[in-house]
Copies of this chain bind each other. A is one copy, B any other.
Amino acid sequence: MKNINIRELAQQLNLSVSTVSKALNDSHEISDETKKRVLKTAATLNYVPNPYASSLRGRKSKNIGVVIPEVADSFFSIAINGIESVAKEKGYHVLICLTHESFENEKNILKEFQGGRVDGVIMSVSRETIQSDHISDLISNGVPLILFDRVCEDVETAKITTDDFESSYKATEHLVAQGCKKIAFLGISKSLSLNSKRQEGYVQALNDHDLKSGNKHIIHCTNELKPNYRLVKKLLQQKNRPDGIVASMEKLTTPVYTACADLNLSIPQDVKMVCFSNLETASILNPSLTTITQPAFEMGKTAASILFRALKKTNLSLTKSSIVIPSSLMIRSSTT
């Protein structure tokens, strides 16, 4: 039982292929009666158009590519829901491509996209990404691309971010207000502008409150659980150990909690922690975790809306614009 094609459908109807095609696409050239007839037999014969044939002809794939570092991360998985909600509405499919934080993978994926597999791209760069030629290449090749969350400053396109500097500043200030004197910052990777902003917010807050941060208190993490655990443990074993932590990735929660437990340090008495995180379980952790919760769904949704706006007007490239959607600090027991 093979899938029927438009020619066979036309034969059944005693109509030409083009008439059927137009009817199927609800063209104004076709009479209502014919449309109805076509739609009906299409349904009974179970006709489903081949998307790649239309794609080839019309040079639009009805796919958008979503390039992200990981899917097993609540920020990204929620963002996908946001993207998908608008893609579905527009009749588009979402091709999710994971870089697993590798620049090499990221380049390969974007390269492949030049072949026309997707009509547009929504992307968050990997932790290794230090330059952006691969992105600009794709864009200048005519594929609209929007950056979200982890953006590259120098790419000329629309960018959706959250207020990384401000929220990091507020979080740090909150720790100061709770009495922390030695606050550490756990970053993702030096190259990410998102990371820099958060770090700057942290440093600024320290300065504004006359606390200096020695370099020892800024560390960058890896992508693995075990090494992160060791890094955190080492940090907490210093003579001058921090009494507060601003963590830039939700993945750091488990290493910090585990390391504290293993070192007999209590959160929040000995160490207070605030984390950029969208974990639903933040509120039921032991202790419940103070988070900077990012508007993941909104960011995805906004990125997709802007992308589709660009897709509509052919050849209108995305202007270099920035949309910032604020995060919210959810104060819980890990800092109070």
Contacts and interface: CB of A to CB of B under 8 A. Distances in A.
A305 interface: no
Interface stretch (A122-130, A188-196, A237-245, A253-261): A253-261
Contact of A71 (B52, B77, B140): B77
Interface in A2-48: 2-3, 46, 48
Contact of A1 (B140, B254, B288): B140
A96 B93 CA distance: 8
Interface in A241-288: 253-254, 257-258, 279-281, 283-288
Secondary structure dominating the interface of A: mixed
Given A81-B98, A258-B284, A283-B254, A52 B61 contact: yes
A1 B141 contact: yes
B78 A72 contact: yes
A168 B279 CA distance: 26
Interface in A180-227: none
A326 interface: no
Contacts of A3: 114-116, 141-142
Interface string A63-78: 1000000011110011
Interface in A43-61: 46, 48-53, 55-56, 61
B283 A285 contact: no
Given A50-B56, A52-B116, A2 B280 contact: no
A84 interface: yes
Interface in A66-122: 71-74, 77-78, 80-81, 84, 93-98, 111-112, 114-117
Interface string A146-167: 0000000000000000000000
Given A52-B117, A72-B78, A257-B284, 19 more contacts: A1-B141, A2-B142, A3-B115, A3-B116, A48-B111, A48-B114, A50-B56, A51-B112, A51-B115, A52-B116, A53-B56, A63-B95, A72-B80, A72-B81, A77-B77, A80-B96, A95-B95, A281-B285, A286-B288
9 contacts: A1-B142, A46-B114, A50-B116, A53-B56, A63-B95, A77-B77, A80-B96, A94-B96, A254-B280
